[in-house]
Amino acid sequence: MFDGRFDFCPHRGILAPMKTTTLGATGLTVSAVGFGGIPITRLAEDAAAQLVRAAFDAGINFFDTAWGYPGSEERMGRGLKGLDRSRFVIATKDGSSDGAMFRKHVLESLERLGTDYVDIIQFHNLSDRPQLEAVMAPGGAYEAALKLRDEGCARHIGVTCHNSELAAELVASGKFETLQAQINFVGNEAEFLVAECARRNMGFIGMKPFAGGAIEDGELAIRYLQQFPTVVPIPGLEKPEELRQVVELFNAPLAPTEEQRQRMAKIREEVGKVFCRACGYCQPCPQEIAIAMVLRIKSIVRRMPLDLSLRLGSRYTDKVESCLDCHECVKRCPYHLEIPAMLRERRDWFNEWRKTVPEA
């Protein structure tokens, strides 16, 4: 999803034609930046469809979504309806390990998207070995994906992964045509995967370009990504102005300056390696704690007006008291974060900050 703040906007005129690249051995010609399909789930259907169409009109032709993003595929399908199908590329994904369930979900995705085929079908969040073994077993999802490709329902097979070590094995296996992994200057451990995918002519789709909100300087995030021309980032967009700014930045690629590199290093040091990427896999919480919002409370306080920070902060952190320490969230987290302890730390930080605010 789009988590950066863009203060840079070089012009307000007509957008230049979007730069394109080839997504590895798939041969698919895609825009230099894609459209991530999570944030449109929060929009009204008409507004979401309009934003998708505006992205296409601005030159973005690569759209990434998932069966598990509530309402995303339907909204994306509405936005792309009536367009020449050969002019855009759709990637969707499903997390089922069982072949029959995977097939069922992919066919449902086609119906939701209003298309006869998807360009890339991906295994969603394939980040641990037991899941990988289940997907690759006889009767598993990989076998189903091959059949769907043979039937023309999917043109290419890819995988998404939050575990860099396992992702390296997936790349080396030669069984996938694209890899979707997080890439940003805070969580930069996947840089070696970019080089390995390029060496094998495998497409690299960059998720979490703003590190789930840990990077608040949008221009800085994009300048880092533009060092890797084989990476196609998929920021999630929610507002027309965000779309315009992303397109403008990708149409004017620049290498980071030394001053920008120093700022990246400072932010990377401040954030550290243990942080929430806001991927949402930890949910649902049985106590209905909005985990990602609590873990992003420092960012909310920095970016939001005081009254809104106080209101949101209280709403989200007050729920932490009900945490059961069941650790279900920890089991689901692809990064194995000790979420209950982090929730309490953020709650305590917010309560201390609130004491310093006279209005509180």
Active-site residues, by number, are 69
Residue 325 φ/ψ, nearest 5 degrees: 55, 35
Distance in angstroms (rounded) separating the CA atoms of residues 98 and 144: 9
- Computed on alpha carbons and rounded to an integer, the radius of gyration of the chain in Å comes to 20
The tokens for 209 are: 């370009």
Bin 114: left if φ > 0, else alpha if -120 < ψ < 50, else beta: left
Q: What is the DSSP string of 221-264?
A: HHHHHTT-TTEEE--B--SHHHHHHHHHHHTS--PPPHHHHHHH
Residue 134 φ/ψ, nearest 5 degrees: -70, -40
Distance in angstroms (rounded) separating the CA atoms of residues 92 and 67: 7
23: three-class secondary structure by DSSP: coil
Residue 57: Cβ within 10 Å count: 11
Distance in angstroms (rounded) separating the CA atoms of residues 298 and 302: 6
The tokens for 248 are: 């403008």
Q: What is the dihedral of CA 267, 269, 272, 275, to 10 degrees?
A: -10
Token look-up 């990377």 returns 268
Please report the sign of the dihedral spanned by the C-alpha atoms of residue 133, residue 134, residue 135, residue 139: positive
Contacts of 55 (CB under 8 A, 6+ apart): 35, 63, 79, 237, 243
The answer to whether 216 and 195 have CB atoms below 8 angstroms apart is no
